[in-house]
């Protein structure tokens, strides 16, 4: 994800103002939430700027336009984001070592402009705590938000796009492996669902063994039903079939052009061989369609 463009400040911005597309009831809920947030006198300038129109609309959609529920959810995120976890302050220097394992990273995007994160279970970084692994996943989430909020991205996809996609390769998964940690999985689901609402487009599980269903049954009870419906189980290749051709067809049907998809999943591009960090304020997505 590199080209020459000016990055917008990391916040919850969207490509377009969407209040004119709301129904009367939805607009009333937005105005109620907007007024409630504007009355929070304890917010500083950065926090107030973060609570922009697109941000409030995401929280409203996540709570089915229940303004009070959205306000409570937003309040929890503000405390988590600016007082507790502070994910926006994680720098690439903080995660350089764990990132070198290439267990998860963003690379390219779908046809509709959803940045794609590749996660590989077989590369679960050894010697790191769950806290360090979660920190790295949060860093990558923030990277994706920078992509989605960059000026170049908004110009390329003017119809608006705020969500990311995941391809999760579960090759070598086993319940005894260090990476098969339900605590970490639950923590990750909690962060994504509570503090990044309406940021997930889809997640695609591939190369999963049968035993993974047992692990998923333990984790899925903590997954919001809306989020759970976004998890896709890619069918395995039929016996004797060409695996690359099989996954190429599957991902093409899901909006992943081969020219933007890594070879391991039927695409034409090579995987990244080293972390691709944002180095400066001149940042935007990789060449677009």
Rounded to the nearest 10°, the torsion over CA 213, 137, 262, 242 is -10
CB–CB of 186/179 below 8 Å?
no
Reported as a single tens digit per residue, the pLDDT across 191-243 is: 999 999 999 999 999 999 999 999 999 999 988 888 899 999 999 999 999 99
**CB-based contacts of 44, cutoff 8 Å, min separation 6:** none
- Residue 231: predicted pLDDT: 96
CA distance 207 to 51: 39
pLDDT-wise least confident of 4-8, 57-61, 105-109, 209-213: 4-8
d(CA 280, CA 134): 24
Neighbouring residues of 51: CB distance < 8 A, sequence distance ≥ 6:
12, 37, 43, 74, 78
- Say if CB 30 and CB 23 are below 8 A apart: no
Residue 273: band (very low, low, confident or very high) from pLDDT cuts 50, 70, 90:
confident
Task: Decide: 7 and 284 in contact? Cβ < 8 Å.
Answer: yes
Tell me which residue has tokens 């949060």: 138
Q: Which helix (H) or strand (E) holds 30?
A: helix 24-38
pLDDT tens digits for 22-57?
A: 999 999 999 999 999 999 999 999 999 999 999 999
Say whether 150 sits in a helix, a strand or coil: coil
β-pairing verdict for 115-120 and 231-233: unpaired
Identify whether the C-beta of residue 285 lies closer than 8 Å to the C-beta of residue 275.
no
Residues 263, 270 contacting (CB under 8 angstroms): yes
Count, in order, helices (H) and strands (E) of the chain: 11, 5
User: Is residue 83 within 8 Å of 127, Cβ to Cβ?
Assistant: no
Say what the pTM is. 0.87
Contact 64, 224 (CB under 8 A): no
User: Does position 280 have pLDDT exceeding 60, yes or no?
Assistant: no
User: What percentage of the chain reaches a pLDDT higher than 90?
Assistant: 74
**CA 107, 108, 109 angle in degrees (round to 5)?**
125
In the DSSP assignment, the letter for residue 151 is H
Task: In whole angstroms, give the CA distance from residue 150 to residue 136.
Answer: 21
Buried-state track 125-153, b at ≥16 Cβ within 10 A, e below 16: beebeeeebbbbbbbbbbbbbbbbbbebb
Question: Does the structure show a pLDDT above 80 at 17?
Answer: no
Closest CA relative to residue 264, chosen from 113, 108, 120: 120
Residue 89: DSSP 8-state: G
Is pLDDT of 248 > 80? yes
Q: What is the DSSP letter of 77?
A: H
CA atoms of 243 and 237, how far apart (whole Å): 6
């Amino acid at each position: 994800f590199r080209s020459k463009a000016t990055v917008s400040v990391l916040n919850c911005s969207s490509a377009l103002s969407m209040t004119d597309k709301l129904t009367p009831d939805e607009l009333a809920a937005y105005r109620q939430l907007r007024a409630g947030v504007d009355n929070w006198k304890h917010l500083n300038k950065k926090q107030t700027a973060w609570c922009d129109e697109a941000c409030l609309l995401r929280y409203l959609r996540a709570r089915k336009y229940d303004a009070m529920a959205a306000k409570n959810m937003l309040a929890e995120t503000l405390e988590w984001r600016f007082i507790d976890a502070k994910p926006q302050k994680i720098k690439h220097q903080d995660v350089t070592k764990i990132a070198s394992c290439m267990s998860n990273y963003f690379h390219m995007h779908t046809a509709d402009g959803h940045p794609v994160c590749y996660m590989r279970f077989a590369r679960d970084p050894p010697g790191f705590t769950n806290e360090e692994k979660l920190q790295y996943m949060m860093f990558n989430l923030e990277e994706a938000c920078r992509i989605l909020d960059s000026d170049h991205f908004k110009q390329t996809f003017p119809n608006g796009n705020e969500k990311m996609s995941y391809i999760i390769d579960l090759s070598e998964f086993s319940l005894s492996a260090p990476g098969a940690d339900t605590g970490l999985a639950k923590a990750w689901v909690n962060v994504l669902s509570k503090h990044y609402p309406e940021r997930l487009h889809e997640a695609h599980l591939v190369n999963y063994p049968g035993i993974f269903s047992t692990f998923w049954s333990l984790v899925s009870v903590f997954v919001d039903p809306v989020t759970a419906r976004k998890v896709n189980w890619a069918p395995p290749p039929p016996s004797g079939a060409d695996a690359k051709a099989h996954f190429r067809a599957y991902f093409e049907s899901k909006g992943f052009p081969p020219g933007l998809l890594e070879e391991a999943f039927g695409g034409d591009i090579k995987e990244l061989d080293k972390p691709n960090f944002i180095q400066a304020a001149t940042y935007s997505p990789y060449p677009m369609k």
